[in-house]
Amino acid sequence: MTDIFDFYRDPKKHGDLKAILDLGAQNHPAGLAQNFLEKDIWVAEILRLLYDENLLGAHSTAFKGGTALSKCWKVIERFSEDIDLSIHWSELAGEPDEIAAWEQSTQSNSQKKKFREQQTRLLTEWSGALVIRLNERLAKYGIDGLRAELEPDSKGEKINIHFPRLSSHDSNYQLDYILLEFGGRNRGRPTVSHNVACYLSELDELQTIAFPQATVAAYHPGYVLWEKLTALHQFSTQEKDPDPHRLARHWYDVDCLLQQDDFTNALDATDAMTDVVTMKSQRWAQKGVIFEEVLEGRLVLVPEGERLKQIAADHKAAIEGRMFFGVPDDFETIISRLREAQDRINAGISRVKHGQ
């Protein structure tokens, strides 16, 4: 079999690679454009390096976010281009006793501030070391334009991986690099092993080509769901309007999750709900956001007024940018379902709270 990366190494084969991408755009049932199919190759390869070649190292690191939803559970029908990873906070801090460390670091506001400063420093150091490991490994490919860099002022949370682009594209919505986004946030170590592959590897016409595949440690569905639900609660209630660009996907994702049994069953996972709410309220407070309201049955999934209009406009831009496999439901329909889900979830939380 021919390695797909051989087509990048040899300039004489660039035309063949473009033909492969064109074939994929014409024949893949998802209807993805060339630029998405090409980026997907590199997303899968980076996941392989991180997990199968263990460039992540010894820390417990969970794969989550939209790419995990599309790759591991196939629960969303959109192209997700970022790699969202969560490092276990106590391992990052070198704390062998998680419970004792948690109690110590949440005793007061000064302790919380000290913890956040320590986590930022440790994450920045860890991410910087990962960039070095990535670039050492990427240099061995012999492919021009392939490199990793720590995003300035990201506090160690973002690494951008640049790759050569040979595909034709007409989307301004897609990033022209792969964003690795890290956080030392997950509480507990709830992960599930999943195999992920490239979209192009699914085509019968391309079975003579070897595409990357990876085995990842994906976040448990219950934690994924409550991370997403509390993210909407934050975006809907925070004091400052969030940047709407590339934000509407979160409402689309939650709407999809709430139509799948693997995730709706997780609504009863009160341990996941409590863990996520406790972590966000103690570690990552936002002005105007009261995460504890979720535990009282006051989850907010839908913002109001101009904020909602801006997010609706972003949903339209995502459709025009061909981020979806086909045409998704209109934003009004998605929001209508989420309003109903909000009432249903809050009623369920209240019943549990009052022992009904």
- CA-angle at 25, arms to 22 and 27, nearest 5°: 105
Contacts of 207 (CB under 8 A, 6+ apart): none
CA distances, 156 to each of 32, 120, 127 (Å) = 32, 7, 6
Domain co-membership, 318 together with 232? yes
Same domain, yes or no: 209 and 225: no
Shared domain for 199 and 268, answered yes or no, is: no
Are 166 and 36 found together in one domain?
Answer: yes
Claim to verify: residue 69 and residue 143 sit in the same structural domain: yes
Query: How confident is the model at residue 189, as a pLDDT?
Result: 62
CA of 120: how far to CAs of 101, 132, 168, 310, 338, in Å?
Answer: 17, 18, 38, 31, 34
> Is there a single domain that holds both residue 201 and residue 225?
no
Q: Are residues 272 and 199 in the same domain?
A: no
Question: For residue 265, what pLDDT is reported?
Answer: 85
The pLDDT score that the predictor gives to residue 283 is 74
**Domain span holding position 323:** 220-356
Tell me how far apart the alpha carbons of residues 355 and 212 are, in angstroms, rounded to a whole number.
50
Distance CA(71)–CA(53), nearest Å, equals: 19
Rounded distance between C-alpha atoms, residue 185 and residue 86, angstroms: 6
The burial of 173, by beta-carbon neighbours within 10 Å (0-12 exposed, 13-18 middle, 19 or more buried), is given as middle
Distance (Å) of CA 90 to CA 44, 176, 177, 251: 28, 34, 30, 31
Could you give the number of structural domains in the chain? Answer: 2
* Residues 137 and 1 occupy one common structural domain: yes
Cβ-based neighbours of 251, under 8 Å, separated by 6 or more: 232, 301, 311, 315, 331, 334, 335, 338
Residue ranges of the chain with pLDDT lower than 50? none
Residues 21 and 149 in one domain: yes
For strand 61-64 and strand 209-210, is the pairing parallel, antiparallel, or unpaired? unpaired
**Element containing residue 66 per DSSP (H, E):** helix 65-68
- Domain boundary, last residue among 219, 253, 283: 219
Q: Could you give the CA distance from residue 134 to residue 139 in angstroms, rounded to a whole number?
A: 8
**Same domain flag for 308 and 340:** yes
Final residue belonging to a domain, choices 219, 246, 281: 219
Given the DSSP bridges, would you call strands 209-210 and 191-197 parallel, antiparallel or unpaired? unpaired
Q: Which of 152, 185, 219 is the last residue of a domain?
A: 219
Q: Are residues 324 and 276 in the same domain?
A: yes
Question: Based on the domain organization, do 171 and 316 belong to the same domain?
Answer: no
What 21-25 contacts at long range (C-beta under 8 Å, 24+ apart), as own/partner pairs, is 21/166, 21/167, 21/200, 23/203, 23/205, 23/206, 24/199, 24/200, 24/203, 24/206
